[in-house]
Amino acid sequence: MERCITEEQLTKALLQWLEAHNWRIICFDFPQSGTGVVLHRNKQSGSSKNKGSFIPDIVAIKNEIVLFFENKDKFVLSDFMKVQYLRGNKDFSQSINRLLAGNKYSKILFGVGLVHSECAEKKVKLHLGKLDFVIFLHADTTFQIRHGPKELFV
């Protein structure tokens, strides 16, 4: 029986792994914690302060490359769609610029950290074009880059 890994455990493991590989963590958020940085659309309208906002699970930087992570304990198509939207639109550019102020960067990559399962791996293969990278956490606590520039994660 495979050990269940929660989204919070995945996020904590990714934070440790990124730091061990010399990534500097800009911000992070655990599920339901309220500790993350809220990114708002460039043009806010309406009465709901956070409607249509995005809270990245991890933002990290190394060698002028910024990574935005959405983390999940299982494959969720809507999260892949969210990453695809962020990747392809500039609707959050002002919030992203404020978050990254004071950091020198030349590239921003958007991706997903996922708990590995055969089912998730099959579904991910169908949606690779929606993101820049996918990193799987296996039950034995090892990470595997399944999509993206592997040299970034060395």
For position 3, what pLDDT does the model report?
60
The closest of 41, 38, 39, 40 to 91, measured between CA atoms, is: 41
What CA–CA distance (Å, rounded) separates 80 from 101?
26
Each residue's pLDDT tens digit, 70-113:
999 999 999 999 999 999 999 999 999 999 999 999 999 999 99
Q: In this predicted model, what pLDDT tens digit does every residue of 17-42 receive, in sequence order?
A: 999 999 999 999 987 777 789 999 98
Nearest residue to 38 (alpha-carbon basis) of 22, 23, 53, 25: 53
Per-residue pLDDT band at 56 (split at 50, 70, 90): very high
CB 15 within 8 A of CB 70: no
Delimit the domains of the chain by residue range.
7-42+53-153
Question: Would you state the pLDDT for residue 72?
Answer: 94
Question: How high is the pLDDT of residue 34?
Answer: 74
Topology of domain 7-42+53-153, per CATH?
Trna Endonuclease; Chain: A, domain 1 (3.40.1350)
Please give the model's pTM, rounded to 2 decimal places. Answer: 0.90
Q: What per-residue confidence (pLDDT) applies to 1?
A: 37
